[in-house]
Structure 1
Amino acid sequence: MRDFSRDHEWLSINTATIRKQQGAEVPLDRLIDQCAAQGIRAISPWRDQVAAVGLDRIAQQLRALDIGLSGYCRGGFFPAPDAAGLKAALEDNRRAIDEAKTLNAPCLVLVVGALPGALDGKVHYKDIARARSEVRDGIAASLDHAREVGMPLAIEPLHPMQAADRACVNTLEQALDLCDELDPQRTGMLGVALDIYHVWWDPKLQQQIARAGRQRLLAYHVCDWLTPTRDLLNDRGMMGDGVVELRKIRGWVEQAGFAGYSEVEIFSALDWWQRPGAETLATCIERHRSVV
C-alpha cells in the first residue's frame, strides 16, 4: 500500500469540498488558485462551476497551473417521464462527455438518476425497475459517444437513502453488473467511481472491490460518515472524524490495482462550508497524510 504520510502527491480535491467558504459560494477559478497555492495537483470540478466561469477559460487555467483532474462531475440522470425527456438526458450526457474531454479528465462520473421528479417532490412514476432500465439504456447509448472520443464513464453507486431521487444504482455490485453487461471485454471505457460515503457499509464491499479490479476502478472518493449525521446529503465528515475504516478500504482498493488519486469530496453545510477555504484544504492535506 502506498505511503501517503510524507506528501500529498496523490490527493485530489473535489471542488464541492470548498465551493462554499464561510457560507458564500466561491467561483471555480478562485478555487483552482487556492488549490495551487497549497501544492494540490489534481481536482474534480462540477459542470455548473465550469459553466459559470467558462469551459475554455478553466481548461486554460488548469494547463497554466499544471493541475490535472481525477474526474469530472457529473453526467447521468437518465430516467425521464417521456421520450422527449430521455432524449434530452442523452444530449446532456453527450455534452458532458465532450466537456470532460476538453478538460482532459480521466473519466466522467455518472450519478445515474432515479424516479423522475423526485428531487422536486413531484414524482412522475414510482416504478424503480423502469428507472433502472432507463439507466441501463442511457449508459449504453452514452457509451457509444464515450468510445468515439475516448472518455471513460464511471458509474457512482449512491447510498440507498438516495435511491428514489438521485441514483437507483445503490451498491458496487449493481454498478459492476451494469459494467459487465455493457462492457464485457473490460475495455477500460466503463467502470465505477467508488465513493466511500456511499458504500462503506456494504457487507460485500471487499469482495466487489476485488471483482472490479484495475480496469473498473476509475475513481476513488473519500470522506467520513459522522455519528450522528445531522443531514444525510450535506453533513459528510472530514476523514478521521467519523466511523469509516479508511485505511483498510484503501488497502482493498490498491490491492485490486487502483493507483490513482484519493479524491476528497465533502458536502458540509454545517461545518466545512462555514470555514475559510485555506483551512479546509490544509485539513484535507493533513488527514490525507494521517488517516486516508
Structure 2
Amino acid sequence: MNGLERFSLNQETIRQWSLPELAEGCAEAGVRRVGLWRAPVRAYGVERAARLMREAGLTVSSLCRGGFLTAADPADRAAALADNRAAVDEAAALGTDTLVLVCGGLPEGSRDLCAARERIADALAELVPYAAERGVRPAIEPLHPMFASDRCVVSTLAQALDLAERFPADRMGVVVDTYHLWWDDTVPRLIERAGASGRIAAFQLADWITPLPEGVLLGRGQLGDGCVDLRGFRERVDAAGYTGPVEAEIFNPALWARDGAEVLAETTERYRRLVA
C-alpha cells in the first residue's frame, strides 16, 4: 500500500511528457491510473497507446474529451456527433468506461443558453445508446461560469444532473471537478443527489489560485496552492458512494516548464497529505 491506490494522473498535468514517458514515469512512481486526452493519443495511435498503457500496468481512468454539442447548424451538429462517436470508440479501445464531455458554448451570434442546453440533450439522445453498446458512459463536466460563452453552457452540477438524469444512470454520468465547482454552496447536497443515483463517473482535482496566473483556462493551481477544500470534496464524494479514481488534472504552464518526475513527486506527495 503506497497511499496512491485511487490516485490517477491526468496526462495534462505533465503535458511535457510523451505517452511513453508518462507510462514509464507513472510506473516508476507507483501510480497505476492515468487520464488521457484524445489529441496526443490519436497522434501516437489509439491501439498503440492502449498497448503501451497495458504493458506498463496502467489503467486508463478517463478519456478527455467529447462534447461540443451545442451547434444549431445541421452540418455542424452531424460533424459533432460523428466526432463524439469516434471518441466513444477511442475510449473503448483504451479500456476506459468514462468519456468526459465538455458540452460546448453558445453558437456564434446566439444568446440563448436554454436552447443550447436542449441541443445538448438532443445530441445525447443519439450518442448515449451508441456509447452504451460499447461499454462507455459519457460524463458531463460542468465548467466554471466563466466558460459558459465559449466552452460549456453547463456551469453547475445541478445543470449537469438535470441533463444526465434524462438517461439511465448506468449510461450517463457527471464529473465532479474541484476547480470548477468549489465556489458553489449548493454542491454538497448536489453531490449527495448525484451519489444517490450512482451518477458520479469521475472526480477530478485542481486548486483555485488568485490572481489567475495564465487566465482561467490555464490557471489551475497545484494541489494545496489555493483555496479549495480538497479533502472536504473527497470526503463528500466518498460519502455519496463514489469509490473510483481521484484524478489530478492541473493545466498550468509553470508545472509544464518543470521536470516531469519532480512534478509527479510533488503532486503525489500533496495528494497523500491533502486529499487521501
**Rounded Cα–Cα distance in structure 1 between residues aligned with 2:172 and 2:118:** 17
**Does 1:196 pair with 2:178?**
yes
Question: 1:258 pairs with 242, 256, 262, which one?
Answer: 242
Question: 2:45 pairs with 48, 51, 54, which one?
Answer: 54
**Does 1:178 pair with 2:160?**
no
1:18–1:273 contact (8 Å) kept in structure 2: yes
Q: CA deviation at 1:138?
A: 1.3
2:97–2:135 contact (8 Å) kept in structure 1: no
Q: Deviations over 1:43-71 (max 9, x none)?
A: 01100010111111101111111100111
Q: CA deviation at 1:199?
A: 0.4
**Does 1:127 pair with 2:117?**
no
RMSD: 1.4
TM-score (norm 2): 0.95
Unpaired runs of 5+ residues, structure 2, are none
Q: Secondary structure at the match of 2:8?
A: strand
Higher RCO, Cα 8 Å, sep 6+ = 1
Q: Secondary structure at the match of 2:91?
A: helix
Unpaired runs of 5+ residues, structure 1, are 21-25, 117-122
Matches within 5 A, 1:1-292: 7-20=3-16, 26-116=17-107, 123-183=108-168, 186=169, 188-213=170-195, 215-230=198-213, 231-269=215-253, 271-292=254-275
Q: Secondary structure at the match of 2:207?
A: coil
TM-score (norm 1): 0.90
**Rounded Cα–Cα distance in structure 2 between residues aligned with 1:170 and 1:125:** 17
**Rounded Cα–Cα distance in structure 2 between residues aligned with 1:124 and 1:85:** 15
Q: Secondary structure at the match of 1:113?
A: coil
**Rounded Cα–Cα distance in structure 2 between residues aligned with 1:236 and 1:75:** 21
Q: CA deviation at 1:35?
A: 1.5
Q: CA deviation at 1:34?
A: 1.6
1:19–1:28 contact (8 Å) kept in structure 2: no
**Rounded Cα–Cα distance in structure 2 between residues aligned with 1:248 and 1:27:** 33
Equivalent position amino acid for 2:33 in 1: A
**Rounded Cα–Cα distance in structure 2 between residues aligned with 1:284 and 1:189:** 32
1:114–1:132 contact (8 Å) kept in structure 2: no
Q: Secondary structure at the match of 2:210?
A: coil
- Consecutive aligned runs of 4 or more in structure 1 exceeding 3 Å deviation: none
Q: Identity rate of aligned residues, in percent?
A: 44
Q: CA deviation at 1:129?
A: 2.3
Q: CA deviation at 1:126?
A: 3.0
